[in-house]
Amino acid sequence: MQNTITKLFNIKYPIIQAGMIWVSGYKLASAVSNAGGLGLIGAGSMYPDVLREHIQKCKKATDKPFGVNIPLFYPDLNEILQIIVEEGVKIVFTSAGNPKLYTSFLQEKSITVVHVVSSVKFALKAQEAGVDAIVAEGFEAGGHNGKEETTTFTLLPMVNEIKTIPLIAAGGIATGRGMLAAMVLGADGVQIGSRFVASEESSAHINFKRSVVETEDGGTDLTLKELIPVRLIKNNFYNQIQDLYKQKPSVDQLNDLLGRARAKKGMFEGDLEEGELEIGQVAGLIHQIKPAFKIIEEIIAEFIKVKKEVNIIEF
């Protein structure tokens, strides 16, 4: 198969592994790229030196294309961009900021730039900024999320109506069914996060991986909307947030409770009680920890099977 996404990144399948803090280092990114998808190193939780090391190791672990995801509120942003250029990274996904600021800088260095958006308005802004593709991410996605709360099912066809560049779907996709549905709704490819958290190669702590597998429908919530909305597993830390909400807290009080390094504590160190566990609603469909290549193999097999099933529907 060749489509706008496989051509843009020179990959086999239009499947992108989301760049996720504390989860997607070079091991996961290279495993996904070796399996025919596009692996992304998540720079958001890495000091500049750590990121450089992961890029270098990724280049050794795969000869296939891979990329780096950079949240644009990153404190050492200029240093990070310098490393990206120096190490010859060819693909950058940016999120959570203004795509106008760095898109041309990166493109002038022959880097393909993709920006993540949560609404039609931001999709239009990203297109205006000249990015090469858009990721449209729905309300059901894990981690940080948009304020409009538009779901994948409605966001994709709305962005499809205005898009002039390739569109990648994110939020709620973990299976071949989901991938096919996203493409039916107008996407050219998919970005998958939660399912790769529960992969053998992810850097997530084994406790967190098991917790993802155990999470069922209704087991996550989008909370801390007064700060940056974030979708979390409803663990003890989440319950503390809910208790605080009953006291009608100020933004400062919410920030104090959140504190620092909660995500590292939960997702990397495996503290399921006090840590922040970012995952999507689709965790309810994830039942086993598997190697990344197996995940991709299963997604493609289900995609083909379901495509055949729906193709026989006639009116």
Taking the complex as a whole, the smallest distance from the CB of residue 126 to a second copy amounts, in Å, to: 14
Question: Hey, what are 227's tokens?
Answer: 């700060």
Nearer to a second copy, 221 or 274 (CB): 221
208 neighbors 267 (Cβ within 8 angstroms): yes
Nearer to a second copy, 93 or 139 (CB): 139
Nearer to a second copy, 77 or 165 (CB): 165
Nearer to a second copy, 70 or 120 (CB): 120
| Interatomic CA distance for residues 153 and 24, integer angstroms | 26
Taking the complex as a whole, the smallest distance from the CB of residue 148 to a second copy amounts, in Å, to: 4
Phi, psi of 26 (to 5 degrees): -65, -30
Name residues whose C-beta falls within 8 Å of residue 180's C-beta, 6 or more positions apart in sequence. Answer: 303, 306, 307, 310
**Using CB under 8 A as the criterion, which residues of the chain lie in contact with a second copy when the complex forms?**
1, 3, 12-13, 119-121, 138-140, 148-155, 157-158, 161, 171-173, 175, 177-178, 180-186, 216-218, 221-222, 248, 280-282, 284-285, 300, 303-304, 306-307, 310-311, 313-315
Taking the complex as a whole, the smallest distance from the CB of residue 171 to a second copy amounts, in Å, to: 7
* Count helices and strands in the chain by DSSP H and E runs: 14, 11
**Through-space distance between the first and last CA atoms of the chain, rounded to whole angstroms:** 28
Nearer to a second copy, 84 or 241 (CB): 241
Taking the complex as a whole, the smallest distance from the CB of residue 241 to a second copy amounts, in Å, to: 15
Taking the complex as a whole, the smallest distance from the CB of residue 201 to a second copy amounts, in Å, to: 22
Classify residue 312 by burial, with Cβ atoms within 10 Å: 0-12, 13-18, 19+: exposed
Nearer to a second copy, 50 or 287 (CB): 287
Taking the complex as a whole, the smallest distance from the CB of residue 30 to a second copy amounts, in Å, to: 21
Question: Residue 158 carries which side chain, given as an amino acid letter?
Answer: M
Which 3-state string (H, E, C) describes 110-177? CCEEEEEECCHHHHHHHHHCCCCEEEEECCCCCEECCCCCCCHHHHHHHHHHHCCCCEEEECCCCCHH
